[in-house]
Amino acid sequence: MALTNKQYDILMREYDNIRTANQHILNERYEEVYRLAPEYSEIEQEIINISMDAARERILGSNTASSLQDASHGNDSPLNKSGDLQSKLSELNNRKTQCLTRIGKPADYLSPVYTCPLCKDSGYIGQERCSCFKKKAIDLVYQDSNLKNITESENFDTFSYEWYADDSPNSANGLTPLQNAKQAVAMAKEFTVKFDEEFSNILLYGTTGAGKTFLTNCIARELLNSTHSVIYLTAVELFDKLSQKDFNKDYGKSDTSDEFDTEYLTECDLLIIDDLGTEMGNSYTASKLFYIINERLLRKKSVIISTNLSLKELQDTYSDRVFSRITSAYKCIRLFGDDIRILKATR
Ligand SMILES: [Zn+2]
């Protein structure tokens, strides 16, 4: 994923801040332990002393080591001394743990604190960018996206069934709107639970106001919480950004944070295209949609598409190749019921 230098610097500064904050937490923990168990610092000092003694002895002793080994096989041989040192150190370390236990702290209370243990808050694992880095990069590029704000309040816990009637079963699947909504939510949950093991995609279709965007946000929230990178774009935004990049030759010259990189579209863990069919459709949008859908299928990266179009309209609006990719690789979830926005407004 390409980032501008400015974006890269912002991310690296963020890691600096994380490490500083975590160091601060650790310092405070040390102060707390020294206060509650003053002997802790004495034990630490003792460890330093005997380690330094041992080091000094190793340096001085190395000159006479051969004569010592020849002359003596008693308790003072270097081998025994290092054994003594090890047992002394492990005894002191045990005492440190006991100190922590006594004041009600876990044994690793004074271990380094990492927000991301995978990369130890460096952003890199070897030469590779850590998953936390990729997520931060996407968050940075999409900080203006309203996804984060929406999904704070829209998640599986707040999904309400009260808007779905439990009568007039649908002629196609025999389910009432309520039964159908429950099934849709169960499928959406399964999608998030199995996200890392099982590659799958969702086409969420159905009438206006039946809760498609809400359900999409539930999934997004769940995956963002488990540190996946999620890009949410309405179809209008998606094709706007793509055409800006394709047709504006000045594009990309300025070093601004809203610069759009199409690589994100193919690389993020989940791409959500909301409201497909509301854009100005033409051969350009159809071919771009195919490119994104196909590219992500090849890379086994999931997509959720939500649309008010029926499957038939979808086929008529986009090319047959788009339609065949969707029907073969997407779980089709249909939501129906009264328009929740109207129900809410009239209650
Ligand atoms: Zn990391």
Q: What band does 201 get if pLDDT is binned at 50, 70 and 90?
A: very high
Q: Lowest mean pLDDT: which of 10-14, 245-249, 297-301?
A: 245-249
Mind listing the domains of the chain with CATH numbers? 5-102 (no CATH), 142-346 (3.40.50.300)
Expressed in angstroms and rounded, the spacing between residue 9 Cα and the centre of ligand 1 is: 16
Query: What is the Cα–Cα distance from 271 to 302, expressed in whole angstroms?
Result: 7
Return the SS3 of 87: helix
Expressed in angstroms and rounded, the spacing between residue 133 Cα and the centre of ligand 1 is: 6
Mean pLDDT of 207-211: 84
Expressed in angstroms and rounded, the spacing between residue 95 Cα and the centre of ligand 1 is: 33
Expressed in angstroms and rounded, the spacing between residue 16 Cα and the centre of ligand 1 is: 13
Expressed in angstroms and rounded, the spacing between residue 223 Cα and the centre of ligand 1 is: 16
Query: What is the Cα–Cα distance from 47 to 301, expressed in whole angstroms?
Result: 52
Query: What is the Cα–Cα distance from 314 to 254, expressed in whole angstroms?
Result: 37
Stretch (H or E) spanning 178: helix 177-193
> Which of 96, 130, 123, 125 lies closest to 111, judged by CA?
96
Q: How far apart are the first and last CA of the chain?
A: 47
Expressed in angstroms and rounded, the spacing between residue 222 Cα and the centre of ligand 1 is: 19
Mean pLDDT of 295-308: 95
Cβ pair 139, 230 in contact under 8 A: no
Expressed in angstroms and rounded, the spacing between residue 124 Cα and the centre of ligand 1 is: 7
Query: What is the Cα–Cα distance from 320 to 316, expressed in whole angstroms?
Result: 8
| Interstrand relation of 128-129 and 201-206 (parallel, antiparallel or unpaired) | unpaired
Q: What is the DSSP letter of 269?
A: S
Expressed in angstroms and rounded, the spacing between residue 278 Cα and the centre of ligand 1 is: 38
Q: What band does 211 get if pLDDT is binned at 50, 70 and 90?
A: confident
Mean pLDDT of 273-297: 91
Expressed in angstroms and rounded, the spacing between residue 116 Cα and the centre of ligand 1 is: 5
